[in-house]
Copies of this chain bind each other. A is one copy, B any other.
Amino acid sequence: MAKATQLINNEVFRAFATYAAIVLLKMMLMSLITAYFRLTRKAFVNPEDTASFGKEESAKKYLRTDPDVERARRGHLNDLENIVPFVGIGLLYALSGPELSSALLHFRIFTGARIFHTFAYLIPLPQPGRGLSWAVGYAVTFSMAYNVLKAAWLL
Protein backbone atom coordinates (compact mmCIF):
# COMPACT_ATOMS: atom_id res chain seq x y z
CA MET A 1 0.00 0.00 0.00
CA ALA A 2 2.80 2.37 0.90
CA LYS A 3 4.31 2.14 -2.59
CA ALA A 4 1.32 3.64 -4.31
CA THR A 5 1.32 6.68 -2.13
CA GLN A 6 4.99 7.41 -2.72
CA LEU A 7 4.26 9.46 -5.81
CA ILE A 8 2.45 12.04 -3.69
CA ASN A 9 5.69 12.48 -1.70
CA ASN A 10 7.55 13.45 -4.85
CA GLU A 11 7.76 17.24 -5.10
CA VAL A 12 7.39 17.45 -8.89
CA PHE A 13 4.37 15.17 -8.73
CA ARG A 14 2.84 17.24 -5.92
CA ALA A 15 3.34 20.40 -7.98
CA PHE A 16 1.71 18.73 -10.97
CA ALA A 17 -1.21 17.50 -8.84
CA THR A 18 -1.74 21.01 -7.49
CA TYR A 19 -1.74 22.80 -10.86
CA ALA A 20 -3.65 20.05 -12.67
CA ALA A 21 -6.38 20.21 -10.03
CA ILE A 22 -6.50 24.01 -10.33
CA VAL A 23 -6.85 24.10 -14.14
CA LEU A 24 -9.37 21.22 -14.12
CA LEU A 25 -11.45 23.07 -11.49
CA LYS A 26 -11.18 26.22 -13.61
CA MET A 27 -12.47 24.23 -16.59
CA MET A 28 -15.34 22.86 -14.50
CA LEU A 29 -16.20 26.45 -13.53
CA MET A 30 -17.15 27.06 -17.18
CA SER A 31 -20.17 24.78 -16.69
CA LEU A 32 -21.45 27.07 -13.93
CA ILE A 33 -20.81 30.18 -16.04
CA THR A 34 -22.74 28.67 -18.96
CA ALA A 35 -25.57 27.68 -16.61
CA TYR A 36 -25.61 31.20 -15.14
CA PHE A 37 -25.95 32.78 -18.59
CA ARG A 38 -28.60 30.23 -19.63
CA LEU A 39 -30.70 31.11 -16.57
CA THR A 40 -30.26 34.89 -16.64
CA ARG A 41 -30.59 35.18 -20.45
CA LYS A 42 -33.33 32.54 -20.51
CA ALA A 43 -31.70 30.73 -23.43
CA PHE A 44 -32.02 26.95 -23.38
CA VAL A 45 -31.60 24.11 -25.81
CA ASN A 46 -33.57 21.22 -24.23
CA PRO A 47 -37.39 21.55 -24.20
CA GLU A 48 -37.54 19.83 -20.80
CA ASP A 49 -35.38 22.61 -19.32
CA THR A 50 -38.02 25.27 -20.03
CA ALA A 51 -40.98 23.30 -18.67
CA SER A 52 -41.01 25.32 -15.45
CA PHE A 53 -41.50 28.56 -17.42
CA GLY A 54 -45.15 27.75 -18.12
CA LYS A 55 -47.19 26.16 -20.88
CA GLU A 56 -45.36 24.41 -23.65
CA GLU A 57 -46.18 27.07 -26.23
CA SER A 58 -45.09 30.08 -24.19
CA ALA A 59 -41.96 28.25 -22.95
CA LYS A 60 -40.88 27.54 -26.52
CA LYS A 61 -39.53 31.06 -26.97
CA TYR A 62 -36.75 30.27 -24.49
CA LEU A 63 -35.34 27.59 -26.81
CA ARG A 64 -32.85 29.92 -28.43
CA THR A 65 -29.18 30.75 -28.59
CA ASP A 66 -27.71 33.72 -26.77
CA PRO A 67 -24.35 35.38 -27.54
CA ASP A 68 -23.18 35.23 -23.91
CA VAL A 69 -24.12 31.55 -23.56
CA GLU A 70 -22.36 30.70 -26.81
CA ARG A 71 -19.26 32.64 -25.72
CA ALA A 72 -19.05 30.75 -22.44
CA ARG A 73 -19.52 27.47 -24.33
CA ARG A 74 -16.70 28.33 -26.74
CA GLY A 75 -14.46 29.16 -23.79
CA HIS A 76 -15.33 25.79 -22.26
CA LEU A 77 -14.57 23.90 -25.48
CA ASN A 78 -11.29 25.79 -25.85
CA ASP A 79 -10.42 24.69 -22.30
CA LEU A 80 -11.14 21.06 -23.21
CA GLU A 81 -8.96 21.35 -26.31
CA ASN A 82 -6.04 22.79 -24.34
CA ILE A 83 -6.31 21.60 -20.74
CA VAL A 84 -6.74 17.94 -21.73
CA PRO A 85 -3.33 17.86 -23.50
CA PHE A 86 -1.80 19.76 -20.56
CA VAL A 87 -3.05 17.21 -18.03
CA GLY A 88 -2.08 14.19 -20.17
CA ILE A 89 1.34 15.44 -21.28
CA GLY A 90 1.96 17.16 -17.92
CA LEU A 91 1.49 13.89 -16.03
CA LEU A 92 3.98 12.11 -18.29
CA TYR A 93 6.34 15.07 -17.96
CA ALA A 94 6.07 15.03 -14.15
CA LEU A 95 6.95 11.31 -14.20
CA SER A 96 9.91 11.82 -16.56
CA GLY A 97 12.07 13.25 -13.77
CA PRO A 98 12.38 16.98 -14.56
CA GLU A 99 13.95 19.51 -12.19
CA LEU A 100 11.38 20.94 -9.75
CA SER A 101 12.20 24.50 -10.86
CA SER A 102 11.65 23.69 -14.57
CA ALA A 103 8.43 21.84 -13.78
CA LEU A 104 7.08 24.68 -11.64
CA LEU A 105 7.93 27.15 -14.41
CA HIS A 106 5.92 25.11 -16.94
CA PHE A 107 2.94 24.55 -14.64
CA ARG A 108 2.77 28.16 -13.41
CA ILE A 109 2.98 29.75 -16.85
CA PHE A 110 0.34 27.39 -18.27
CA THR A 111 -2.04 27.97 -15.37
CA GLY A 112 -1.60 31.74 -15.50
CA ALA A 113 -2.09 31.78 -19.28
CA ARG A 114 -5.32 29.75 -19.12
CA ILE A 115 -6.81 31.87 -16.33
CA PHE A 116 -5.99 35.00 -18.34
CA HIS A 117 -7.48 33.32 -21.44
CA THR A 118 -10.80 32.81 -19.67
CA PHE A 119 -11.01 36.48 -18.66
CA ALA A 120 -9.92 37.54 -22.17
CA TYR A 121 -12.70 35.40 -23.67
CA LEU A 122 -15.52 36.35 -21.30
CA ILE A 123 -14.97 40.11 -20.91
CA PRO A 124 -13.95 40.08 -23.90
CA LEU A 125 -10.57 41.80 -24.14
CA PRO A 126 -9.48 43.10 -27.55
CA GLN A 127 -7.23 40.81 -29.55
CA PRO A 128 -4.43 39.72 -29.49
CA GLY A 129 -4.92 39.25 -25.71
CA ARG A 130 -6.87 36.00 -26.01
CA GLY A 131 -4.76 34.73 -28.90
CA LEU A 132 -1.49 35.35 -27.10
CA SER A 133 -2.61 33.67 -23.87
CA TRP A 134 -3.76 30.68 -25.94
CA ALA A 135 -0.35 30.55 -27.69
CA VAL A 136 1.56 30.71 -24.39
CA GLY A 137 -0.34 27.73 -22.97
CA TYR A 138 0.11 25.88 -26.27
CA ALA A 139 3.88 26.50 -26.25
CA VAL A 140 4.22 25.31 -22.64
CA THR A 141 2.42 22.03 -23.44
CA PHE A 142 4.60 21.63 -26.53
CA SER A 143 7.75 22.14 -24.45
CA MET A 144 6.61 19.49 -21.95
CA ALA A 145 5.84 17.08 -24.82
CA TYR A 146 9.35 17.61 -26.17
CA ASN A 147 10.80 16.72 -22.76
CA VAL A 148 8.56 13.63 -22.48
CA LEU A 149 9.60 12.37 -25.92
CA LYS A 150 13.27 13.05 -25.16
CA ALA A 151 13.08 11.05 -21.92
CA ALA A 152 10.71 8.25 -22.96
CA TRP A 153 11.17 7.72 -26.70
CA LEU A 154 10.29 4.09 -27.42
CA LEU A 155 8.38 3.80 -30.69
Chain A interface (Cβ within 8 Å of chain B)?
1, 3-15, 17-22, 24-25, 27-28, 30-31, 45-46, 48-49, 51-52, 71, 74, 76, 80-82, 84-85, 87-89, 91-92, 95-97, 124-127, 130, 138, 141-142, 145, 148-149, 151-155
A14 engages B126 (CB within 8 Å): no
Q: Known: A51-B126, A80-B84, A154-B14. Contact between A95 and B148, CB under 8 A?
A: no
Which chain B positions have C-beta within 8 A of A151?
8, 17
Would A1 and B8 count as touching, CB distance under 8 A?
A: no
- Contact A92 B149, beta carbon cutoff 8 Å: no
Q: How far is the CB of A79 from chain B (nearest CB, A)?
A: 9
